[in-house]
Structure 1
């Protein structure tokens, strides 16, 4: 058990180091040169750097601003939520700030907004996804939103993050112009998609609910030809007051078309509900030992 915990700790540390580096890379080498503000404290750091360029040559460095903005937030979070809540996120925040300082200022997109939007979004999404897989964040607006939520419960954490990030993006749009702002919004969309894929994988399974008068035939086919488990659930139609057996099975994305066609062949009047199953653990799918 201790060996397993130790392996998980090392894995999380590597994820945080690599993830924070990949998150910092597009901020320093793509978004900053293109004046693209994609939200978060990293985006706010780009704004502050531009606004302070007349005070300090080149403006206050991104890593310094990011660290200074985050420290009071983490202190407040430590006081309010305790060290367990702050945990690994503090390490991720510090590493992000360090990466922002040590990464050389190279224009990776070569002043091309399309390349910058796609490449920046992919790198940012991959980095955020890796950090999230270590069960932490890089702080910033996420931590701030949690603190605000603890004071005003009527606002959800997700909604607060959206509001704060939107204000930062709009500020960047006002400062740098609509072109940078719109490309930044597209890059956020790319980053969100890539981080979801990094966190959950591409192979999203399907949960299928089947209501039919031929449940036995359908379940026999699923068990024998698809080699998938199937569960029968007693259900009651509230209009007809009739009790029926509803089948529940989880299949891979590749199997869903075959399953639909097979069910319709057996019972053209069957009723199917198909849902995305983001993660499926157990026999025939993922096992926890494979993940770690």
Structure 2
């Protein structure tokens, strides 16, 4: 009897908590997406970022960009100020906690949940992987660390997830002002370089610049968010497909009705839409669920003349 009463009470408080923070609706909406790919991407990013930090950045006194670089800065300063070096995993998490609270209220719940998973995976792997000195050459550490980190960031972006940090600040400001906020990253990375120079010497600040440059180049090679793709869909379920394109991708489409195939002479509809590379995985999932029999042709790197809005998701 006691167990039943305790279970009912626990279930009541759990549902009350979930209802207050809208978690039930969020979890249900996530379950309808390809969340397994996003979680896998979070794990891959977490592992690669940990390898970059523990195998290259920390042993070579080279700073990364964004929140990871700020976490390294806080770790270095804690050692000199309080005489105790806080782990990079802890400082990285402390930086992201208030930012994730901001993202929950200003950007979106699904975005925040996947960001929380990604940040948690990164912090966990940074804590678990030992710090290994493969080489003391700071240039080699800067180059290889930048490559590994760039691969992780690129893979994360390819699966439309965020690693937190300055991404959250940038998306929040863009949502409020509508302005391009790329200079935020420049400001943060510039601050990291200055502190790196003051802490370890300006030579190491230059090595960190190499890391940031290589990381950005590798990220672009793995994934370019601004790449636009044109999809031509030949379907017998145009209304269902259009509804998903409108409400899931927030894209428009051009419809050509009553076309005829030359093989079996069935009546079909052609839909033409333009999406970004970041939306491609969601697009594939939508087509697989809505009309798996549709014929879809996708052209990459198309050029657009006219209005094309890039939304942050």
TM-score by length of 2: 0.59
Alignment match, 2:166: 141
Alignment match, 1:27: 53
Alignment match, 2:154: 129
Alignment of 1:70-85 (within 5 A): 70-85=96-111
Instruction: Give the gaps of 5 or more residues in structure 1.
Output: 206-276, 287-292
- Find the residue that maps to 2:216 and give its secondary structure: helix
Instruction: Give the gaps of 5 or more residues in structure 2.
Output: 1-30, 229-275, 281-295, 301-313
Backbone CA RMSD of aligned residues: 3.1
Structure 1 CA distance for aligned equivalents of residues 38 and 298 of structure 2: 26
Alignment of 1:65-144 (within 5 A): 65-108=91-134, 110-144=135-169
Structure 2 CA distance for aligned equivalents of residues 171 and 155 of structure 1: 28
**Is the aligned partner of 1:194 residue 2:221?**
no
Structure 1 CA distance for aligned equivalents of residues 101 and 299 of structure 2: 42
Q: Following TM superposition, by how much is the alpha carbon of 1:36 offset from its aligned partner in structure 2, in angstroms?
A: 1.3
Structure 1 CA distance for aligned equivalents of residues 192 and 81 of structure 2: 22
Aligned length: 208
- More displaced, 158-167 or 133-142? 158-167
Give the 3 Å change call, closer, same or farther, for CA 53–155 of structure 1 in structure 2: same
Give the 3 Å change call, closer, same or farther, for CA 200–40 of structure 1 in structure 2: closer
Give the 3 Å change call, closer, same or farther, for CA 44–284 of structure 1 in structure 2: closer
Q: Select the structure of larger CA radius of gyration.
A: 1
Of 38, 56, 63, the match for 1:12: 38
Give the 3 Å change call, closer, same or farther, for CA 154–278 of structure 1 in structure 2: closer
TM-score by length of 1: 0.63
Q: Following TM superposition, by how much is the alpha carbon of 1:6 offset from its aligned partner in structure 2, in angstroms?
A: 7.2
Structure 1 CA distance for aligned equivalents of residues 138 and 166 of structure 2: 25
Q: Following TM superposition, by how much is the alpha carbon of 1:18 offset from its aligned partner in structure 2, in angstroms?
A: 0.9
